[in-house]
């Protein structure tokens, strides 16, 4: 029964107060500036067991709720005269046995006014909604679990899609190639779009964009099988018609491959001759060197597995023309205009000419594949995967021929010139890293064996099949090498880095030749605000030391080659007192680690081993130093 209210006891009032006391929700009445509790029904007393509450101030009655905002809410209502409501607020209440009871309450606190309108106190009414809150929490937890499960499944499909797509695009003489793949919006699993670029032995390139019906792991799996069928046939010099016929037979056996659409084009970079087939797929777009844009006529072929034929058409690309193959996801955007194909042509032409986003250091094919997607989908999104594959005829980069003196001092400038030549070809950073290391090792080896007055000659050419063939030769007779403490790693490193190595000593000198395929990675797009990395001249090797108490901490940065390896060895041994002091050497900033540098590190490690002083080498995964250290087996900490 509500107690503590100054009202005469009458029968009617007793009945009314008894009714209030039986209300199935919490009711508490506070009076005066200190908010003395003057009324509390049975539901209120049930959540405050064992407490003497009537006539006591709010801060004492609800002392365990201090800091949980409930007490502050009562005083705020008294101060302002404005009600406050809360929905499913969590509260912790102390129990007589010392435990803590957690409950959730949905409440309203209103002012209690005298007839003249002044605020006399506050009245709080609340419902115990703990069960409802627990149900909500359980539902949210289950929803989160299902979301994680969905995200995990989506990640698996996305990763499968990534693995089934080609690992790289070939770099060919007189041609630049780029591709991008944008996954469907978040609520749709990756689909069956794919692209491929197959460098054929005759110097031509086969370009493919296809689209398997549906989404999910089945579509991705079928896509991978179709890509393998086409790749094998195209690599075997099959014509577009023959290759598509083989894929059509596969689609006739595999139900999930039925109605797959494909655009296949075979291009000769040297002459510009183009043969293509559109099997139910949107036709290619040609962006001319003069800024014009035209769609090639469809060939009339039907999707795979539908019983049709695969006729082809021919065309010719001029120098500077760009060919774009794409999937229909770029056209079938939710908010696409009335002429999405014309919009694609306009945006692609602007991107190719550099009239769209200003991205320095990018090729026309890279801008088209990246910017066209960004500009077309950022307003209305996209419901399907989007694939773009672009190839542009460009002037071929001439063969590299350079002569260098048979002295270590010429290695750095030769490495820079090789890097410039590879950059002009469009080689990836990884391929530049590999070939600079490989040819640097061969040049160092030639310097060690050639007569000092005879120059070293480096030649490199990109073959029509997309492989760099490079040789290092000296014109002098073989002589005994100058003494080095540790030798024999240069050729071993080179052989591990490149596809093939051949060393041919002869009466008039030695010729070492390497072959290595060039490729560039395609872009699996997820965002468009990745700024291109800044470039600059490679610094000289530097060594810095950091305070380390009884241990030496050093950081090595820049190139460690035949010129700088001896200085690194000398400086690291000096700072570790000949290997008697434990040392940590951070090599993450090393941009080039030649075999001379590896030898120096082995010598340093031997000194530390003899003195029983630990040596720790640090290099981040993927860094140039880490790649070389992993090859030679030197222990390294990430």
Percentage of residues in the chain having pLDDT higher than 90:
44
Whether pLDDT at 538 is above 50: no
- The pLDDT, as a whole number, for residue 181 is 87
| Together in a domain, 388 and 511 | no
Pick the last residue of a domain from 358, 393, 428: 393
Predicted confidence (pLDDT) per residue in 125-136, tens digit: 999 999 988 888
Whether pLDDT at 427 is above 60: yes
Predicted confidence (pLDDT) per residue in 140-169, tens digit: 888 878 777 766 655 665 666 666 778 789
- The pLDDT, as a whole number, for residue 470 is 94
Q: Is 180:371 a contact under the CB 8 Å cutoff?
A: no
More confident residue, 273 or 538: 273
Pick the last residue of a domain from 342, 374, 393: 393
Half-sphere exposure of 325 (CA within 13 A, CB side): 30
Catalogue the E-assigned strands of 362-455.
386-393, 400-404
| Together in a domain, 506 and 487 | yes
According to DSSP, residue 52 is labeled -
| Together in a domain, 345 and 247 | yes
Among candidate residues 172, 210, 529, the one with its CA nearest the CA of residue 365 = 172
Q: Residue 267 — pLDDT band, cuts 50, 70, 90?
A: very high
- Residue 528 to residue 560: CA distance in whole angstroms: 36
Which of 66-75, 154-163, 481-490, 560-569 shows the lowest mean pLDDT across its residues? 481-490
> What tokens does 152 get?
């995990």
Residue 230: C-alpha distances to residues 213, 224, 250, 263, 311 (Å) = 17, 10, 10, 12, 16
- The pLDDT, as a whole number, for residue 185 is 58
Pick the last residue of a domain from 87, 111, 128: 128
Mean pLDDT of the chain: 85
- Residue 522 to residue 354: CA distance in whole angstroms: 20
According to DSSP, residue 238 is labeled -
> What tokens does 465 get?
């099949």
Domain assignment of residue 530, yes or no = no
Domain assignment of residue 388, yes or no = yes
Average pLDDT (282-305) is: 95
Predicted confidence (pLDDT) per residue in 93-111, tens digit: 999 988 999 999 999 999 9
| Together in a domain, 330 and 182 | yes
- The pLDDT, as a whole number, for residue 115 is 92
Helices (H), 67-169: 70-80, 130-164
Which of 30-34, 384-388, 422-426 shows the lowest mean pLDDT across its residues? 384-388
Predicted confidence (pLDDT) per residue in 245-265, tens digit: 999 999 999 999 999 999 999
Average pLDDT (592-617) is: 88
Among candidate residues 617, 621, 620, 622, the one with its CA nearest the CA of residue 634 = 617
Domain assignment of residue 147, yes or no = no
Among candidate residues 614, 572, 623, the one with its CA nearest the CA of residue 597 = 572
> What tokens does 318 get?
């001029």
Whether pLDDT at 114 is above 90: yes
Domain assignment of residue 140, yes or no = no
Average pLDDT (552-559) is: 90
Domain assignment of residue 133, yes or no = no
Average pLDDT (450-473) is: 87
Which of 102-116, 184-198, 314-328, 388-402 shows the lowest mean pLDDT across its residues? 184-198
Query: Residue 279 CA to chain centroid, in angstroms?
Result: 33
Residue with tokens 């959540």: 47
The CATH number covering residue 349 comes to 3.60.40.10
- The pLDDT, as a whole number, for residue 531 is 36
Predicted confidence (pLDDT) per residue in 324-334, tens digit: 999 988 888 77
Residue 567: how many CB atoms within 10 A of its CB?
13
More confident residue, 565 or 216: 565
| Together in a domain, 385 and 445 | no
Domain count, the chain: 4
> What tokens does 173 get?
């003489």
Average pLDDT (470-475) is: 87
- The pLDDT, as a whole number, for residue 113 is 94
Residue 450: C-alpha distances to residues 52, 485, 505, 510, 514 (Å) = 102, 19, 11, 9, 19
Helices (H), 532-588: 565-575
| Together in a domain, 439 and 543 | no
Domain assignment of residue 22, yes or no = yes
- 3-state class of 473 per DSSP? strand
For the chain, the maximum distance between any two Cα atoms, rounded to a whole number of angstroms, is 129
Q: Residue 476 — pLDDT band, cuts 50, 70, 90?
A: low
Sequence-ordered list of residues with C-beta below 8 angstroms from that of 70, at least 6 positions apart, any chain:
62, 89, 91
Average pLDDT (39-64) is: 90
| Together in a domain, 95 and 180 | no
Whether pLDDT at 64 is above 80: yes
How would you label 291-315 residue by residue, b for 16+ Cβ within 10 Å and e otherwise?
Answer: eebeebebbebbbbbeeeebebbeb
Sequence-ordered list of residues with C-beta below 8 angstroms from that of 143, at least 6 positions apart, any chain:
none
| Together in a domain, 486 and 585 | no
| Together in a domain, 355 and 266 | yes
Whether pLDDT at 2 is above 50: no
| Together in a domain, 344 and 212 | yes
More confident residue, 394 or 153: 394
- The pLDDT, as a whole number, for residue 486 is 40
Average pLDDT (6-23) is: 66
Domain assignment of residue 533, yes or no = no
Half-sphere exposure of 282 (CA within 13 A, CB side): 25
Highest-scoring range by mean pLDDT, 211-225, 418-432, 528-542: 418-432
Which H, E and C letters describe 240-286, residue by residue?
A: HHHHHHHHHHHHHHCHHHCCCEEEEEEECCCCCEEEEEEECCCCCEE
Percentage of residues in the chain having pLDDT higher than 70:
87
Which of 13-27, 435-449, 598-612 shows the lowest mean pLDDT across its residues? 13-27
Predicted confidence (pLDDT) per residue in 396-411, tens digit: 999 999 988 888 888 8
Q: Is 254:275 a contact under the CB 8 Å cutoff?
A: no
- Residue 287 to residue 176: CA distance in whole angstroms: 14
Whether pLDDT at 187 is above 60: no
Highest-scoring range by mean pLDDT, 178-192, 370-384, 501-515: 501-515
The CATH number covering residue 581 comes to 3.30.750.24
| Together in a domain, 331 and 287 | yes
Structural domain range at position 92: 11-128
Whether pLDDT at 473 is above 80: yes
Average pLDDT (476-501) is: 64
Average pLDDT (358-373) is: 88
Q: Residue 84 — pLDDT band, cuts 50, 70, 90?
A: very high
| Together in a domain, 547 and 513 | no
- Global confidence as pTM: 0.66
Average pLDDT (73-79) is: 94
Strands lying side by side in the sheet with 386-393:
293-295, 285-287, 322-326, 386-393, 175-182, 523-525
The CATH number covering residue 418 comes to 3.30.565.10
Q: Residue 445 — pLDDT band, cuts 50, 70, 90?
A: confident
- The dihedral region occupied by 465, where left means phi > 0, alpha psi between -120 and 50, and beta the remainder, is alpha
Which of 187-196, 283-292, 601-610 shows the lowest mean pLDDT across its residues? 187-196
Among candidate residues 131, 81, 82, 75, the one with its CA nearest the CA of residue 106 = 131
Average pLDDT (372-384) is: 77
Sequence-ordered list of residues with C-beta below 8 angstroms from that of 479, at least 6 positions apart, any chain:
449, 450, 451
- 3-state class of 93 per DSSP? strand
Whether pLDDT at 452 is above 70: no
- Residue 512 to residue 501: CA distance in whole angstroms: 7
Q: Is 207:417 a contact under the CB 8 Å cutoff?
A: no
Domain assignment of residue 143, yes or no = no
- The pLDDT, as a whole number, for residue 576 is 86
According to DSSP, residue 353 is labeled T
Residue 304: C-alpha distances to residues 311, 346, 561 (Å) = 13, 30, 55
Q: Residue 202 — pLDDT band, cuts 50, 70, 90?
A: confident
Residue with tokens 């270590």: 408
């Amino acid at each position: 029964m509500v107690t503590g209210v100054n009202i005469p006891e009458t029968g009617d009032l007793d009945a009314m107060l008894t009714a209030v006391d039986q209300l199935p929700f919490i009711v508490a009445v506070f009076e005066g500036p200190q908010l003395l509790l003057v009324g509390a029904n049975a539901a209120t007393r049930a959540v405050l067991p064992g407490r003497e509450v009537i006539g006591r101030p709010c801060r004492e009655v609800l002392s365990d709720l201090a800091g949980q905002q409930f007490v502050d809410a009562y005083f705020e209502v008294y101060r302002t005269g404005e009600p406050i409501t809360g929905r499913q607020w969590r509260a912790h209440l102390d129990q007589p046995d010392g435990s803590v009871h957690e409950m959730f309450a949905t409440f309203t606190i209103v002012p209690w006014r005298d007839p003249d309108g002044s605020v006399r106190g506050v009245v709080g009414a609340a419902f115990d909604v703990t069960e409802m809150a627990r149900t909500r929490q359980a539902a949210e937890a289950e929803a989160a679990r299902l979301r994680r499960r969905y995200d995990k499944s989506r990640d698996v499909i996305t990763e499968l899609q990534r693995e089934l797509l080609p690992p790289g695009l070939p770099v060919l003489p007189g041609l630049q190639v780029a591709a991008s793949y944008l996954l469907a919006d978040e609520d749709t699993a990756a689909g069956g779009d794919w692209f491929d670029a197959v460098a054929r032995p005759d110097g031509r390139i086969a370009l493919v964009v296809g689209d398997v019906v549906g989404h999910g792991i089945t579509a991705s799996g079928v896509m991978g099988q179709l890509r393998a069928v086409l790749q094998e046939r195209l690599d075997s010099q099959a014509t577009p018609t023959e290759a598509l016929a083989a894929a059509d037979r596969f689609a006739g056996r595999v139900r999930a491959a039925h109605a797959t659409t494909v655009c296949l084009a075979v291009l000769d970079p040297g002459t510009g001759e183009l043969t293509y087939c559109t099997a139910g797929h949107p036709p290619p777009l040609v962006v001319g060197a003069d800024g014009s844009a035209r769609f090639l006529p469809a060939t009339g072929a039907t999707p795979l597995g539908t019983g049709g034929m695969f006729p082809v058409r021919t065309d010719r690309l001029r120098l500077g023309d760009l060919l774009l193959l794409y999937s229909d996801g770029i056209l079938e955007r939710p908010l696409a205009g009335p002429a999405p194909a014309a919009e694609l042509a306009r945006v692609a032409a602007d991107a190719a000419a550099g009239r769209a986003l200003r991205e320095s250091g990018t090729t026309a094919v890279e801008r088209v594949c990246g910017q066209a997607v960004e500009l077309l989908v950022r307003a209305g999104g996209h419901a399907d995967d989007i694939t773009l594959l672009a190839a542009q005829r460009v002037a071929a980069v001439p063969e590299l021929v350079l002569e260098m003196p048979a002295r270590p001092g010429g290695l750095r400038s030769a490495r820079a010139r090789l890097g410039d030549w590879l950059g002009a070809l469009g080689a990836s950073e990884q391929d530049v890293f590999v070939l600079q290391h490989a040819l640097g090792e061969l040049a160092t080896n030639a310097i060690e064996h050639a007569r000092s007055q005879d120059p070293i000659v480096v030649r490199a050419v990109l073959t029509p099949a997309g492989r760099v063939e490079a040789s290092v030769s000296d014109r002098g007779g073989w002589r005994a090498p100058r003494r080095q403490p540790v030798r024999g790693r240069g050729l071993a490193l080179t052989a591990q880095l490149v596809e093939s190595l051949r060393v041919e000593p002869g009466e008039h000198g030695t010729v070492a030749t390497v072959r290595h395929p060039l490729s560039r990675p395609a872009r699996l797009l997820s965002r468009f605000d990745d700024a291109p990395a800044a470039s600059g001249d490679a610094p000289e090797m530097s060594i810095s030391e950091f305070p380390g108490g009884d241990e030496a901490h050093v950081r090595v940065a820049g190139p460690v080659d035949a010129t700088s390896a001896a200085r690194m060895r000398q400086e690291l041994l000096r700072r570790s007192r000949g290997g008697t002091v434990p040392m940590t050497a951070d090599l993450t900033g090393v941009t080039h680690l030649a075999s001379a540098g590896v030898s120096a590190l082995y010598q340093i490690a031997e000194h530390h081993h003899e003195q029983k002083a630990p040596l720790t080498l640090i290099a981040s995964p993927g860094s140039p130093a880490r790649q070389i250290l992993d090859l030679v087996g030197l222990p390294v900490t990430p």
